[in-house]
Amino acid sequence: MRKILVVVDMQKDFIDGSLGTKEAVGIVPAVLGKIKSYDKSDIFATRDTHQKDYLDTREGKNLPVEHCIEGTEGWEINPEIAGNILTDHIYNKPTFGSVTLAKAISEIAAKEEIEIELIGLCTDICVISNALLLKAYMPEVKISVDPACCAGVTPQKHAAALETMASCQIHIND
């Protein structure tokens, strides 16, 4: 069975930039370790991607902090992490979940048996959104999350997101 890893939004702005947290900084070594345990061809990533008009968008009005503006340093995936991901396996997304990524992985699932593991940032926004999209596209595929390789906006929101994903039959790794 093929095991696929989805690395969600491990970008500068979420790690130590405009929306960074000490918890996000703290998971980087574990994320690198997890990535190195997978074959490069089985690793996919999302990249939160906003434009200069971000503050005028619905999301920008609800979260008025410029972040992940395409082409900026904050938009870039952490260089060590990015070096382990094929460029054509990185999916830019303008919102929390990537429908394009879910479709691409569901095409793989139509041809062979897979499992999917998610890691990254932020547990309570983009990780949960992508996990639920993948579950909606592939309800019979085992989907899991490694909490040691995720961080939420706060530790409390991280825990709440893990509980919600478990309720939706997404396996939470030990």
Question: For the range 54-59, what are the long-range contacts, defined as Cβ-Cβ under 8 Å and sequence gap of 24 or more?
Answer: 59/95
Q: What is the pLDDT of residues 107-159, one digit of tens each?
A: 999 999 999 999 999 999 999 999 999 999 999 999 999 999 999 999 999 99
Integer Rg of the chain from CA:
15
Residues 65 and 59: their CA atoms lie apart, in Å, by: 10
- Token digits for 51? 């434009």
Q: Measured between alpha carbons, how far is residue 173 from residues 27, 108, 148 in Å?
A: 15, 23, 9
Residues 91 and 100: their CA atoms lie apart, in Å, by: 7
Check if the beta carbon of residue 146 is closer than 8 Å to that of residue 173: yes
Q: What is the pLDDT of residues 85-107, one digit of tens each?
A: 999 999 999 999 999 999 999 99
Q: What is the pTM of this model?
A: 0.97
| CA-closest candidate to residue 144, choices 31, 47, 4, 1 | 4
